[in-house]
Amino acid sequence: MNAMPERGALDDPQRPHAIVIGAGIGGLAAAIRLGARGWRVSVLERCEQAGGRAAVFRQDGFTFDAGPTIITAPFLLEELWTLAGRRFADDVTLVPIDPFYRIRFDTGSYIDCSADPAFMRAEIQRLAPGDLAGYERFIALTERIYQIGFEQLGHVPFGSWTDMARI
C-alpha cells in the first residue's frame, strides 16, 4: 500500500488535481485513496458538515445519528486509515450492538434485527409465522447477491452502463 505523501509534496502544483463532489463516506474514501496516490484533492460539500448519511445532527439537546446503521465491512475502513498512515483502532472503537435496531410498524408491532440467524427466525416466527419460509428464501437470495455483488464484483470498476450490462 502507498503511504501518504510528505506535507511539502501535497502543495506541488505539478501533481494531478481531483475534485470530489460530496463529503459522504464514498466521497471521503475516494479523496483519501486519491491523496494516498499522490493527487491533490479538493472535496466540495453542500451541507454544513461532512459525513453524508453518516452525519450526526443535534437539536433541542438530542443527538440524531443519520447512519450507517450497520458497518458490514470494517476492513474497508481499516484500509482507508492505513492509506492515510494511521491505525483505525487508534481512532475508532467499533462496538457490537445486538439487536442492531428495532423496526416499529404503525400497528404497534415491531421486529428486532440481529446477525444471529436463530434469533431472526424466532422474530419472524413471532411477527409473521406464515412468512418463515419466505424469509428463508429471502436470506438465501441475498447471500447469493452478496457473493456476486460484493465478493466477486466489488473491486470491478464500472465506467459506463455497458460495463454493468455486460456483467
Among 41, 40, 38, 42, smallest CA distance to 4 is for 38
pLDDT at 144 over 50: yes
Cβ–Cβ < 8 Å for 55, 68:
no
Find the distance separating the first CA and the last CA of the chain, reported in whole Å.
28
All three cell numbers of 36: 494516498
**Gap between the Cα atoms of 165 and 123, Å rounded:** 38
pLDDT at position 7 is 55
All three cell numbers of 66: 443519520
CA distances from 90 to 24, 26, 86 (A): 22, 22, 8
pLDDT digits (tens, 9 = 90+) for 24-60: 989 999 999 999 999 999 999 999 888 888 888 889 9
pLDDT at 2 over 50: no
- Helix residue ranges per DSSP H, the chain: 7-10, 25-36, 74-83, 88-91, 117-127, 132-146, 161-166
pLDDT at position 6 is 58
High-pLDDT (> 90) share of the chain, %: 60
Q: How many residues does the chain have?
A: 167
Domains of the chain: residue spans and CATH: 7-90 (3.50.50.60), 101-155 (no CATH)
pLDDT at 146 over 70: yes
Among 2, 11, 3, 86, smallest CA distance to 41 is for 11
